[in-house]
Structure 1
Amino acid sequence: MTHTPKTPAGSDAAAQAAALIAAVEDACGPAPAVPTAYRDTTPLPVTGAAAPVAQPGRPPMSQRATDASSLMLAGGAGTLMAGTGAGVALWALGGVDPVALALAAGAPVAVLAALSRVLRRAGQAAAQAAPVTHHHTYTGPVRQEHRTTTTTTRGVIARTRNGR
């Protein structure tokens, strides 16, 4: 570690102060005349009069249209794979009775439909079975109002009418 000796407060200090002042004035002085930007004034090349030509690949479209297109392509690929698998299974089961095949294919759909109907009915029964009871205790004059609003919306341009 190198230590610099401290200078006496005499003429060296005045020389250092003068050098520091000169350095600050040089830094804050006017900037040299160096260009900071350049504008190219040469004319742009002329394009031909030929009509535009469609480029290969996907045509330009909005982001929403691009997303929808990708989703449709993915869905089509998934359908293709499922259809191919079903076709291979049917080809392999070529000797199976058509009625048994129809029952095997329709059974999962029928089971799902039946389960959804049972669950819906159970939910409706639970809602109707236990009526809501309110118990209130008041110690002064009370005014209660109960209102029911029925809303109907119809039409292409939606029009809502509220009735009591």
Structure 2
Amino acid sequence: MNLHDPASSRRMTEDEAKEHADALIREAFRPTSYRDDTPLPAVGSTPPVAQPGRPPMSQRATDISGITTAVGLASAPISLGTCAVLWTAGQLDPVVLGLLAGAPITFVAVLSRALKRAKGVVEAAPAEIHNHYTGPVLQDYRSTTTTTTTKGVFAQTRNDVRK
């Protein structure tokens, strides 16, 4: 900026220079606007104007948009809960964290082992058989057995039924 005013041969004071610079800045940043006051046609090819709110879309798209918003809001508690658990886990001692993480796995392993044993006990006990006979009866308790023999690299199986 030239502090020397060419119209007169005197130098501008500092206040005048500051006022001149402020005027130039105000002129540069002065808002400009234009309003077209010509009337719009009542009927014609005037394009539609988007209204505030959701943008114009089909009914199906509007429904899907609402569902998507609801699902997003419904996932917030799960996300916040996970965030709280992870933050708490970051504050724990690693040994305590290992014990807490291992406890459910150990519980499931012990429970499955107990269920397998209970299932084995149920399968091992034969069903009770009640036979009621009239007259002389001969019972043969020898059961029919099947033996299986497999030999060799290429397996050969021979089943024998013995009585």
TM-score interval w.r.t. the shorter chain? 0.3 to 0.5
Higher alpha-carbon Rg: 2
TM-score, length basis structure 2:
0.33
TM-score, length basis structure 1:
0.33
